[in-house]
Structures are given as structure tokens and as C-alpha cells.
């Protein structure tokens, strides 16, 4: 069970909450001000201006190694493409990341070592920004590509058939030419989804997943956050929260889309465990699972897909453009109080 937020945050972030109110000029009656006054969650600071007259929704953001540029998914009229935003120019507007690309582009990750961006679409597989018109060979039915620290390998969510049979989905390691060097980074008894590689220690992989249940299929809504250590044979696999029941599923520990902090000491992830309305919040937890997860955002923001800034004290996330809205926007969270 999560520790009491107020007991934890009174010690670490009551001054941060007041600071957010002052820094953002929030006034009584403002939804964000009421949120900060009542519970000191991290307050989203939007990285773009969103007009209610413009029907766009933004998702799955990532920043580069210097936090000067942002890439994210933008959906307009049910068609999704990657957009690029210059964070150094407060007047900048997003532009297509690959001008002229007719296919959808999704789920980017940015190598902080080489500067190369990897992304995918649901038809052809995985692409690199160095050649954004031709997919990497043999990557159909692969998604959520994420970088190893050397910038020469990827961890991928792998739905490709395999002989002899392997779990579908599974998390695999592959080269930039499409050669799979490690077909299963977890084990044969776990469905392994969205992966994140620990950058200081790439033998450690976090992923969203669940125990394989014969006769059923993978259900991302009943995921936990898992850890795998590939230094052992077979890899050592366990849930981030030690000792939780893998069968039956316990919604108090539900979690998806884990992402390691740059120093490898923390994992940010999304979870709907705080409410019964399927609204998501961002949580932060020690990467070894030695402390309970702490909720970072108010559930009313329905926050998803947190990734870290290079500083290790901020997150970029997708949140509702306002409470109760349908469309999402991209925002920054100051989480320094949660990782101190």
C-alpha cells in the first residue's frame, strides 16, 4: 500500500506547493491553485498554449539530451504524426518532425548519446530519424522502441511470432539493422510490454507486464511494473513492489509505462490505482522497489507517459488540457521534492 501522501509530503514539499502557487500566479478558484492548496502534488506547466477552439490532442513526449527540444505525438482528425518543438523559444510553434511523411509516426524515443530519434508506425515497424522513410528490416509487429545507452541497440515490445514459441508480447533487444540479439529480456512465463533500459546499468530493464495465463491474452490494464536483470541466466525477473500477488491481479499495484531516471535510481510510471474512474496519475518509486510508490499528480489530470528531463528532477508528461477535458497537452512537472 502507498505511504500516506501527506505524511511524506509535509516533510519534503509543503514549501514547493506554495512556491508553485506564487510562481504560476494562480488565484483562488483556479483548478490548479485549488489542487496545490489542498494536496501538494506537482503542478503541470504546459509547454505550449492550447486553445479550446483548436481540436488537437498531444501524447507521448520526449526531450533531447539538453532539454532544448521536444518531440511528441499530435493527433488531428484521428491521424497521428510526430511534431517537434523548440523549447528555447517561448514563441515557437510545433512543426512536423518529418516534413512530408505521409504515414503515421508514433512512440518516439531520443538517444541522448547519438541524438538519433527512433519511432514507429503500426503498419511497417520501427524507423530511425537518420532514414525516416524506410523501416528497419523485420520490425513489423514491434513497437515502443527505447534506446540502450550506447545508441546502437534498442529494447522493443515484440509481438512477432517465433519458433519455438515465445511469449507474445515480450521484450527483446535488437540492433539498428533489425537483428535480434536477445529475444526474451524477461522470461518465458511473463508477458513483457513497454520497456525502459537503465542507462547507467543497461543489464537492468523495467517493463509493464503480467504473468502469462494460458488460454487468455495480454491485457495492459492489469499490468504491474516489473524488473529484469539480464546478468543472470535465465534473467532474474520480479515485480517492482516486492511480494505482491501476481495471481490474482491486485489493482492497488497496477502500473504501466515505467521509465528510469537518468541516474537509474528512480522509476516514474502511470497508474490508475488511486481511483475507480480509470483516471491515471504519475507515480515515482525507488528503482529497486525498496520504498513504496508516491503519487505525483492529481488524478484529475489523467496523466500518462512520463519521461525524465536530463536534470533528473523534472518530468515531461501528457495531461488533460484542463480538468474534465478530452484532449491532452504536453506539460512539465517539477518533481525535485519527490526524488531528494
- Listed by start position, the domains of the chain span 1-40, 46-338
The reported pLDDT for the residue numbered 16 is: 36
Instruction: Give residue 65's pLDDT.
Output: 98
Distance in angstroms (rounded) separating the CA atoms of residues 48 and 330: 7
The half-sphere exposure of 27 on its side-chain side, counting CA atoms within 13 A, is 0
Give the pLDDT confidence score for residue 201 in this predicted structure. 98
Cβ atoms of 262 and 310 within 8 Å: the answer is: yes
pLDDT of residue 22: 31
Closest by CA to 4, choosing from 251, 224, 274, 206, is 274
How far from 66 is each of 246, 268, 309, CA to CA, in Å? 39, 20, 8
At residue 15, the pLDDT reads: 33
pLDDT digits (tens, 9 = 90+) for 5-33: 434 443 343 333 333 333 333 323 334 33
- Choose among 201, 197, 135, 150: nearest CA to 171: 197
Q: What is the pLDDT of residue 275?
A: 84
Write the Ramachandran bin of 78: left for phi over 0, alpha for psi from -120 to 50, otherwise beta. Answer: left
pLDDT per position as a tens digit, 168-217: 999 999 999 999 999 999 999 999 999 999 999 999 999 999 999 999 99
C-alpha cell at 102: 505521409
Instruction: Say how far apart CA 312 and CA 309 lie, in whole Å.
Output: 6
- The predicted structure's pLDDT at residue 11: 38
Nearest Cα residue to 208 out of 302, 291, 280? 280
CATH fold, domain 46-338, is: Neuraminidase (2.120.10)
Please measure the distance between the N-terminal and C-terminal CA atoms of the chain and give it in whole angstroms. 21
pTM for the structure as a whole? 0.88
* pLDDT, position 9: 43
User: Mind listing the pLDDT tens digit for each residue in 157-168?
Assistant: 999 999 999 999
Question: Which residues of the chain fall short of a pLDDT of 50?
Answer: 1-39
Predicted pLDDT of residue 243: 87
Q: How many other C-beta atoms can be found within 10 angstroms of the C-beta atom of residue 103?
A: 16
pLDDT at 180: 98
**CA-closest candidate to residue 71, choices 129, 155, 113:** 129
Could you tell me if 328 and 321 are in contact, meaning their C-beta atoms sit under 8 angstroms apart?
Answer: yes
What is the pLDDT, as a whole number, of residue 17?
Answer: 36
The candidate with the shortest Cα–Cα distance to 314, out of 296, 340, 332, 295, is 332
Amino acid at each position: 500500500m502507498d505511504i500516506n501522501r501527506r505524511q511524506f509530503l509535509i516533510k519534503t514539499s509543503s514549501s514547493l506547493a506554495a512556491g508553485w502557487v506564487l510562481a504560476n500566479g494562480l488565484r483562488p478558484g483556479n483548478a490548479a491553485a485549488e489542487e496545490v492548496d489542498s494536496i501538494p502534488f506537482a503542478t503541470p506547466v504546459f509547454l505550449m498554449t492550447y486553445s479550446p477552439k483548436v481540436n488537437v490532442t498531444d501524447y507521448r513526449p520526449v526531450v533531447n539530451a539538453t532539454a532544448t527540444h521536444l518531440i511528441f505525438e499530435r493527433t488531428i482528425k484521428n491521424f497521428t504524426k510526430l511534431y517537434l518543438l523548440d523549447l528555447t523559444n517561448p514563441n515557437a510553434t510545433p512543426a512536423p518532425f518529418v516534413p512530408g511523411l505521409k504515414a503515421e509516426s508514433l512512440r518516439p524515443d531520443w538517444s541522448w548519446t547519438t541524438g538519433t530519434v527512433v519511432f514507429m508506425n503500426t503498419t511497417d515497424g520501427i524507423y530511425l530519424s537518420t532514414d525516416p522513410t524506410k523501416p528497419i528490416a523485420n520490425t513489423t509487429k514491434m513497437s515502443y522502441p527505447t534506446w540502450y545507452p550506447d545508441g546502437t541497440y534498442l529494447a522493443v515490445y515484440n509481438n512477432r511470432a517465433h519458433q519455438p514459441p515465445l511469449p507474445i508480447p515480450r521484450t527483446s533487444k535488437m540492433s539498428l539493422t533489425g537483428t535480434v540479439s536477445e529475444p526474451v529480456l524477461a522470461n518465458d512465463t511473463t508477458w513483457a510490454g513497454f520497456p525502459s533500459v537503465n542507462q547507467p546499468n543497461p543489464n537492468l530493464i523495467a517493463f509493464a507486464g503480467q504473468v502469462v495465463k494460458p488460454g487468455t491474452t495480454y491485457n495492459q490494464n492489469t499490468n504491474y511494473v516489473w524488473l529484469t536483470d539480464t546478468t543472470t541466466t535465465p534473467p532474474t525477473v520480479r515485480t517492482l513492489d516486492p511480494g505482491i500477488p501476481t495471481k490474482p491481479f491486485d489493482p492497488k499495484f497496477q502500473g504501466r509505462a515505467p521509465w528510469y531516471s537518468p541516474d537509474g535510481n528512480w522509476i516514474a510510471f502511470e497508474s490508475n490505482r488511486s481511483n475507480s474512474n480509470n483516471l491515471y496519475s504519475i507515480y515515482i518509486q525507488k528503482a529497486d522497489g525498496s520504498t513504496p510508490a508516491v503519487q505525483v499528480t492529481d488524478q484529475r489530470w489523467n496523466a500518462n507517459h512520463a519521461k525524465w528531463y536530463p536534470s533528473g528532477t523534472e518530468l515531461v508528461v501528457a495531461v488533460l488540457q484542463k480538468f474534465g477535458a478530452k484532449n491532452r497537452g504536453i506539460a512539465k512537472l517539477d518533481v525535485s521534492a519527490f526524488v531528494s
